[in-house]
Amino acid sequence: MQNMNQFLRFSDKKDAEYIAELQAAIYHFEGQEIGAKTISRYLSQEKLAEFNLVNPYARKLFRKALLTEVADVEGGQFATGGAIMLANFVDHAWACCDRALNFDFDKTKQKIRNALSGMDYIAAIEAGVYPHTQWTTDGITGCLVSFHCHAVVWSTSKSKLRRHKAKIAARFEPVHEDDKKPPVNNLKTIKDVLKALRYLTKMTLEGYRRKPSGTQEHVPLDAGHHYRLFKFLRGRSLFDAWLAGGKGTEVLRRAKRAAVRAAQAEPMGE
């Protein structure tokens, strides 16, 4: 696809920002020697083949593989006769305090699979940090981390997906009043799909703040937010945050395989 490089270049820039932010956070909280070892273990290019959830080089390889795979199946899996949408899922059970993170990826993925049973989709789980919202977990208070899921759904109609989301709404308890009706965004072109998937592969660089109008705005995160989230996420595989159903299962499987092959062929370091 002609515009593939523009999607990758944009994301590479955001990943570079993430590395700089997280390096500063680790040095600040763990000290220079321990911080350097931690960066080498989880963030370095030499470790990209481990596909750790916080490794930006592995994420870059997976992003390229996923976008390439989706672009290649434009005329097949993403038929022009079916609408393509970006649906969002949030749940009160997925919210926790950043000082007592206890999110369960496996249980959450099963809940999403049950909710989207019978549909074609590719989905990713990410953490939304709200530095200005207090939250208490197990008696510990800090800022809110609202884990949530974004799903690209196709081979259906917008009205059908809206009806389906209304039907399963009772399964998801909102974190905030505004979460009762999460948006369903129509993706009209393959370019829109690639933008959405690029969005799904992003690092958690910025946080969110709810405005009085009910909408959200991006806000900076400090070193503590980056560090605490990194400490929790670094034990997971990048692929733990992704799931798919229907025709999306094979698309995601091929993207994973392509990313793993690329990682094995990648020259180590500079």
DSSP string, 128-141: EEEEEEEEEETTEE
Instruction: Say if residue 71's pLDDT is above 90.
Output: no
What are φ and ψ of residue 165, in 5° steps? -65, -35
Q: What angle do CA 25, 28, 30 make, to 5 degrees?
A: 95
CA distance to 37, 50, 245, per residue, from 61 (Å): 23, 12, 22
> Which two structure tokens, joined as six digits, stand for 227?
């560090």
Asked if 236 contacts 105 with a C-beta cutoff of 8 angstroms, the reply is yes
Distance of CA 162 to the CA centre of its chain: 22
User: 52 has which bridge partners?
Assistant: 237
Percent of the chain with pLDDT over 90: 53
Contacts of 270 (CB under 8 A, 6+ apart): 45
Q: How confident is the model at residue 268 (pLDDT cuts 50, 70, 90)?
A: low
> Which two structure tokens, joined as six digits, stand for 152?
């690209």
Asked if 110 contacts 91 with a C-beta cutoff of 8 angstroms, the reply is no
- Between 85 and 152, whose confidence is greater? 152
* Of residues 134, 101, 130, 96, the one with CA closest to residue 210: 130
pLDDT at 7: 58
Residues in the chain, how many?
Answer: 270
User: What pLDDT digit, counting tens, does each position of 111-150 carry?
Assistant: 999 999 988 899 999 999 999 999 999 999 999 999 999 9
Asked if 14 contacts 203 with a C-beta cutoff of 8 angstroms, the reply is yes
Q: What angle do CA 22, 60, 226 make, to 5 degrees?
A: 15
Q: Mean pLDDT across the stretch 48-53?
A: 96
pLDDT at 180: 55
pLDDT at 269: 47
User: 127 has which bridge partners?
Assistant: 147
Residue the block writes with tokens 């109609």: 157
Asked if 78 contacts 190 with a C-beta cutoff of 8 angstroms, the reply is yes
User: What pLDDT digit, counting tens, does each position of 204-224 carry?
Assistant: 889 999 888 777 899 999 999
